[in-house]
Amino acid sequence: MSKQTIHVRIFDEPYSLITDESPEHLKRAAELVDSLMRETVQAGFKDRNKAAVLAALQLASKMLHKELSAQDHKEKYDRIVKWAESQDKALDNLF
Protein backbone atom coordinates (compact mmCIF):
# COMPACT_ATOMS: atom_id res chain seq x y z
CA MET A 1 0.00 0.00 0.00
CA SER A 2 1.35 3.47 -0.84
CA LYS A 3 1.77 6.29 1.64
CA GLN A 4 -1.12 8.70 1.97
CA THR A 5 -2.03 11.65 4.16
CA ILE A 6 -4.89 11.07 6.59
CA HIS A 7 -6.47 13.89 8.57
CA VAL A 8 -7.83 13.13 12.04
CA ARG A 9 -8.82 15.03 15.16
CA ILE A 10 -7.77 13.92 18.61
CA PHE A 11 -9.00 15.88 21.61
CA ASP A 12 -10.06 18.75 19.35
CA GLU A 13 -6.60 19.01 17.76
CA PRO A 14 -6.13 18.34 14.03
CA TYR A 15 -3.41 15.93 12.91
CA SER A 16 -2.21 15.17 9.40
CA LEU A 17 -0.57 11.77 9.33
CA ILE A 18 1.40 10.19 6.52
CA THR A 19 0.83 6.46 6.63
CA ASP A 20 0.39 3.29 4.64
CA GLU A 21 -2.43 2.19 6.95
CA SER A 22 -5.97 2.25 5.61
CA PRO A 23 -7.83 5.50 6.35
CA GLU A 24 -10.56 3.57 8.19
CA HIS A 25 -8.00 1.87 10.44
CA LEU A 26 -6.21 5.07 11.32
CA LYS A 27 -9.43 7.02 11.88
CA ARG A 28 -10.68 4.28 14.21
CA ALA A 29 -7.38 4.39 16.12
CA ALA A 30 -7.68 8.18 16.44
CA GLU A 31 -11.27 7.83 17.69
CA LEU A 32 -10.07 5.35 20.32
CA VAL A 33 -7.31 7.67 21.54
CA ASP A 34 -9.73 10.60 21.57
CA SER A 35 -12.26 8.61 23.56
CA LEU A 36 -9.69 7.45 26.12
CA MET A 37 -8.37 10.98 26.58
CA ARG A 38 -11.89 12.31 27.11
CA GLU A 39 -12.64 9.56 29.65
CA THR A 40 -9.41 10.42 31.48
CA VAL A 41 -10.31 14.11 31.64
CA GLN A 42 -13.81 13.27 32.84
CA ALA A 43 -12.24 11.18 35.59
CA GLY A 44 -10.51 14.28 36.92
CA PHE A 45 -7.20 14.56 35.03
CA LYS A 46 -7.53 18.00 33.45
CA ASP A 47 -3.99 18.28 32.07
CA ARG A 48 -3.97 17.34 28.34
CA ASN A 49 -0.47 15.88 28.49
CA LYS A 50 -1.32 13.66 31.44
CA ALA A 51 -4.53 12.58 29.71
CA ALA A 52 -2.52 11.65 26.61
CA VAL A 53 0.04 9.69 28.64
CA LEU A 54 -2.68 7.84 30.57
CA ALA A 55 -4.52 7.03 27.33
CA ALA A 56 -1.26 5.71 25.85
CA LEU A 57 -0.66 3.64 28.98
CA GLN A 58 -4.15 2.13 28.74
CA LEU A 59 -3.61 1.24 25.09
CA ALA A 60 -0.17 -0.23 25.78
CA SER A 61 -1.59 -2.34 28.60
CA LYS A 62 -4.38 -3.67 26.37
CA MET A 63 -1.85 -4.45 23.66
CA LEU A 64 0.37 -6.36 26.10
CA HIS A 65 -2.59 -8.38 27.36
CA LYS A 66 -3.47 -9.31 23.78
CA GLU A 67 0.14 -10.25 23.02
CA LEU A 68 0.26 -12.49 26.09
CA SER A 69 -3.06 -14.06 25.12
CA ALA A 70 -1.84 -14.64 21.55
CA GLN A 71 1.36 -16.23 22.87
CA ASP A 72 -0.68 -18.48 25.17
CA HIS A 73 -2.89 -19.54 22.25
CA LYS A 74 0.18 -20.25 20.11
CA GLU A 75 1.70 -22.42 22.83
CA LYS A 76 -1.57 -24.37 23.18
CA TYR A 77 -1.78 -24.74 19.39
CA ASP A 78 1.82 -26.00 19.25
CA ARG A 79 1.07 -28.59 21.98
CA ILE A 80 -2.03 -29.78 20.12
CA VAL A 81 -0.08 -30.09 16.86
CA LYS A 82 2.67 -32.02 18.63
CA TRP A 83 0.09 -34.34 20.22
CA ALA A 84 -1.70 -34.86 16.88
CA GLU A 85 1.60 -35.68 15.18
CA SER A 86 2.40 -38.23 17.90
CA GLN A 87 -1.04 -39.81 17.46
CA ASP A 88 -0.55 -39.93 13.71
CA LYS A 89 2.81 -41.66 14.19
CA ALA A 90 1.26 -44.11 16.63
CA LEU A 91 -1.45 -44.98 14.09
CA ASP A 92 1.18 -45.46 11.35
CA ASN A 93 2.99 -47.91 13.61
CA LEU A 94 -0.18 -49.98 14.00
CA PHE A 95 -0.41 -50.68 10.29
By CB atoms closer than 10 A (0-12, 13-18, 19+), residue 36 is buried
pLDDT digits (tens, 9 = 90+) for 26-42: 999 999 999 999 999 99
What is the model's pLDDT at position 1?
66
Tell me the average pLDDT across 10-33.
95
State which amino acid sits at residue 45.
F
- Per the DSSP assignment, residues forming a β-bridge with 17 are 6
Asked if the model's pLDDT at residue 6 lies above 90, the reply is yes
| pTM for this entry | 0.71
